[in-house]
Amino acid sequence: MKSLSKWVRLPSAWIEEGGLRDFVWEKEVGGDNIAALMALMAIAHHADAETGESHVTYDVLCKATSLSRSKLSNGLDILDELEIVDRASNGRSTYQLRNYDREGGWAMLPAKRLYAGGRIASLTEFRLRSVTELNALKLYFLFVARRGRDTNMANISFPKIHEYTGVDPAKIKAATSLLASSSLAYIERIPSRTNDMGVSNAYRLVGLEAYQHMGTRGRGQDANDFDWFSDT
């Protein structure tokens, strides 16, 4: 496996346009939708920084995601159908991130720090049998797309999370708890912009500018520090 960068570019317009809502938890396809998002993560990690094209074998993808070959195949079918990833006609080991443009329309996706022994360590315990796993990955990609570069966090309300992902607000806490326990994202508490005595949640991605967080920037931040990423 090639040496990974600290982070990679992920086309994010489809997320901003509500594309995560297409990954639904339904009988027969729920687990495959989890596999699709896991596969997308690994493909993006191995994509060429100039072209967004990923030359990576099934064996590497299966190891990175801890997926079986059949589940990986099902996940790739979904990414292809949703026009998020194209599979090249010259072989199944070539994948193109759709709408890849170095000049804009992308978000920073953590890469190198997530791996241990060629695997995305945070995904090794995913079993593809829980709606919480699907919700957690949908939220993860949303946080990637909505992260403020000045704060290194995504500050977004439950109603907005539901709007972008379709995740039931009553199930968001379980999903964010899984992200935290899997070391994919951590929850920070910041002053609320609507209540002088209240606080709101912000989400910090593991493996991305780890030096920049509430401990280094201080608790004096308010919601305005989050610019347009602040939806609470």
**What's the pLDDT score for residue 200?**
80
Residues 6+ apart with CB under 8 A from 12: 105, 106, 107, 144, 145
pLDDT in tens, 114-130: 999 999 999 999 999 99
**What's the pLDDT score for residue 223?**
38
Q: CA-CA distance, 151 to 213, in Å (whole number)?
A: 7
Q: Compute the average pLDDT of residues 102-106.
A: 96
Q: How far apart are the first and last CA of the chain?
A: 41
Q: Compute the average pLDDT of residues 67-94.
A: 92
Lowest mean pLDDT across 98-112, 138-152, 190-204, 213-227 = 213-227
Tokens of 100: 């890849």
* Statement: residue 230 has pLDDT above 50: no
Alpha-carbon distances, residue 62 vs 73, 77, 123, 132, 222 (angstroms): 10, 15, 11, 22, 42
CA quadruple 94, 15, 110, 84: dihedral, nearest 10: 0
| Residue pair 207/213 in contact by the 8 Å Cβ criterion | no
**What's the pLDDT score for residue 3?**
87
**What's the pLDDT score for residue 194?**
57
Model confidence band, residue 199 (pLDDT cutoffs 50, 70, 90): low
Q: CA-CA distance, 206 to 193, in Å (whole number)?
A: 25
Model confidence band, residue 227 (pLDDT cutoffs 50, 70, 90): very low
| Residue pair 156/232 in contact by the 8 Å Cβ criterion | yes
**What's the pLDDT score for residue 222?**
41
**What's the pLDDT score for residue 189?**
82
Alpha-carbon distances, residue 155 vs 17, 42, 64, 84, 117 (angstroms): 18, 25, 29, 25, 32
Q: What is the mean pLDDT of the chain?
A: 88
pTM of the predicted model as reported, rounded to 2 decimal places: 0.88
Tokens of 161: 């999370």
* Statement: residue 138 has pLDDT above 80: yes
